[in-house]
């Protein structure tokens, strides 16, 4: 699946998107997997209260199942307007 990062999460991880092969069942499992990779991921996902998630461009909860997700995006709370 394609994993996208925005705002300060993108800055901490250092890339806007990447292809990830995973057997994670939920978003939270995917986050754990990414955290274990490198320090920059652990830093980006250190405070999950400040992280929002979208699966295929729809907001979901952190415990949502990934299912057949093509695109998972991580970003901070939105600040439009």
Partner 1 sequence: MVVRVQTDDFDIGVEISMMTAGRQDIGAIVTFSGLVRDMTGDQSVAVMELEHYPGMTEKALEKIEADANGRWPLQATLIIHRVGPLNAGANIVLVATASPHRQAAFEAAEFIMDFLKSRAPFWKKESGVDGGNWVDARDTDEEALARWTVSDD
Q: Which residues bind partner 1 (CB under 8 A)?
A: 4, 6-8, 54, 57-59, 73, 75-81
Q: How far is the CB of 44 from partner 1 (least distance, A)?
A: 13
CB closer to partner 1 out of 11 and 32: 11
Give yes or no for a contact between 64 and 53, defined as CB atoms under 8 angstroms apart. Answer: yes
Q: How far is the CB of 36 from partner 1 (least distance, A)?
A: 25
CB closer to partner 1 out of 36 and 49: 49
Distant-in-sequence, close-in-space partners of 40: CB < 8 Å, separation ≥ 6: 12, 13, 14
Alpha-carbon distance of 61 to 38, in angstroms, equals: 24
């Amino acid at each position: 699946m394609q994993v996208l990062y925005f705002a300060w999460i993108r800055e901490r991880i250092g890339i806007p998107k990447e292809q990830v092969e995973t057997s994670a069942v939920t978003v939270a499992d995917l986050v754990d997997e990414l955290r274990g990779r490198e320090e920059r991921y652990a830093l980006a996902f250190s405070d999950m209260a400040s992280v929002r998630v979208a699966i295929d461009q729809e907001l979901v909860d952190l415990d949502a199942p990934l299912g057949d997700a093509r695109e998972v995006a991580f970003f901070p709370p939105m600040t439009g307007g």
